[in-house]
Homo-oligomer: A and B are copies of this chain.
Amino acid sequence: MALQVSPLAPESYPDLPVIAGVRFATAAAGIKYKNRTDVLLAVFDEGTSVAGVLTRSKCSSAAVDWCKANLGGGVARALVVNSGNANAFTGRKGQQSVEQTAAIAAKAVGCSVAEIFLASTGVIGEPLDANKFSGVLDTMAAALSDQPWMEPAKAIMTTDTFPKLGTASIDIDGVEVRINGIAKGSGMIAPDMATMLSFVFTDMPIKAEVLQALLGQHVKSSFNAITVDSDTSTSDTLLAFATGKAKGIEPIETLDDPRAEIFGEALRDVLFDLAIQVVRDGEGATKQVAVHVEGATSDESAFRIAKSIADSPLVKTAIAGEDANWGRVVMAVGKAGEPADRDRLSIRFGDLVVAHNGERAAGYDEAATSAYMKGDELELTASLGLGEGRATVYTCDLTHGYIAINGDYRS
């Protein structure tokens, strides 16, 4: 099925700089389709530290299990990603497949299997034949390049309608440090620890433990704050690789190092940029929606209420219909199971107060609200009036496009 490019696709793509110590290649290995780029090999110089957050699904894929086992080592030499087959729910065959893939990659790159990280995305339940990687990874390892980043971003796409790239650079100790990131994801998006697949690369010298702590912190307000369809993937994988090749900087060894916060903010910018791109490429999306909850009893409570609103099919179809149906927001607050007092609840669409203290706002302006709903970037705010807890969840609308993509898809 040929998918129309999302109306929310970016008008242009950023030109990502070289990250010293990172080289890559892409290839068509015929995983599912012929003549379609479906494998990414990224190779890192020695001394690269790695951190990751992975799906909490009880049915995680074989590649996720592999990464979990190897993250403890904290060092990476290569990443192999394939699209077209998730290698999830493939039992012992799946485990053998990742072992064999890692062995082929380790031989091609010249490192130990524990330094290989793997990710797979695509159909669930179909055994992945690792033999498909066998000549391919050798050829790729002999043709590595540090540019252009558009290639790896495209190689990991499945139902995505546009490639997702993000970059940031910061000054640390007078040296320019770079962070590049790529992501894929469009449906089955309600990340519990990460999105479908995202990989971030930096030349910052930073200890794996510190990188892990920063990643865990900033995933909360980026990938873990988005939802397309409330369905959490078996394959969610976010990995960050730090080559340490930015010259003349002492490594960050602890979280107390004041540079950790500066680096963390830049990392967060890249993660957030990529996460929003995933929402903007949500299956069938025509509008991007930020759902803010404030005045909740805690931030966690605010997050669960925001998620309840952002996941509600009735809220999302109303947005698709450009209908200022704030009653459905009331419903979604009410069903969240979190502390809420109907008679203190107020709701805003953009800056327009539509409901106040438990009933329609006195100054409710239907024409202005309807006009606001025609925009393609909307902000809904539910103000609970109970405490200081706040959170934001990002989502998209629910349209005929989502049904067409997922009701016609053949496993």
Given contacts A90-B359, A328-B124, A409-B321, contact A187 B402 (CB under 8 A): no
Interface status of A89 (Cβ within 8 A of chain B): yes
Interface residues of A in 366-411 (CB under 8 A from B): 398-400, 402-404, 406-411
**A34 CB contacts on chain B under 8 angstroms:** none
Interface size range of chain A in the complex:
35 or more
Interface residues of A in 21-62 (CB under 8 A from B): 55-60
Using CB atoms, name the residue of chain B closest to A317. Answer: B406
Q: Is the CB of A229 within 8 A of B314?
A: yes
Q: Is the CB of A125 within 8 A of B335?
A: no
Interface status of A355 (Cβ within 8 A of chain B): yes
Q: Is the CB of B59 within 8 A of A331?
A: yes
Q: A371 to chain B: closest CB distance in Å?
A: 15
Q: Most B CB atoms within 10 A — which of A335, A340, A400? A: A335
Interface status of A264 (Cβ within 8 A of chain B): no
**A231 CB contacts on chain B under 8 angstroms:** 312-314, 328, 331-332, 335
Interface status of A343 (Cβ within 8 A of chain B): yes
Given contacts A331-B59, A342-B58, contact A311 B230 (CB under 8 A): yes
Q: Is the CB of A317 within 8 A of B407?
A: yes
Give the docked Cα–Cα distance between A233 and B358 (Å): 16
Give the docked Cα–Cα distance between A88 and B58 (Å): 39
**A318 CB contacts on chain B under 8 angstroms:** 406-407, 409, 411
Q: Is the CB of B93 within 8 A of A359?
A: yes
Q: Is the CB of B327 within 8 A of A125?
A: yes
**A314 CB contacts on chain B under 8 angstroms:** 187-188, 229, 231, 406
Give the docked Cα–Cα distance between A89 and B325 (Å): 13
Interface status of A234 (Cβ within 8 A of chain B): yes
Q: Is the CB of A59 within 8 A of B333?
A: yes
Q: A380 to chain B: closest CB distance in Å?
A: 14
Interface mask (A330-341 → B, CB under 8 Å = 1, otherwise 0): 111111111111
Interface residues of A in 300-331 (CB under 8 A from B): 311-314, 317-318, 320-321, 323-328, 330-331
Given contacts A91-B359, A317-B406, A360-B125, contact A411 B325 (CB under 8 A): yes
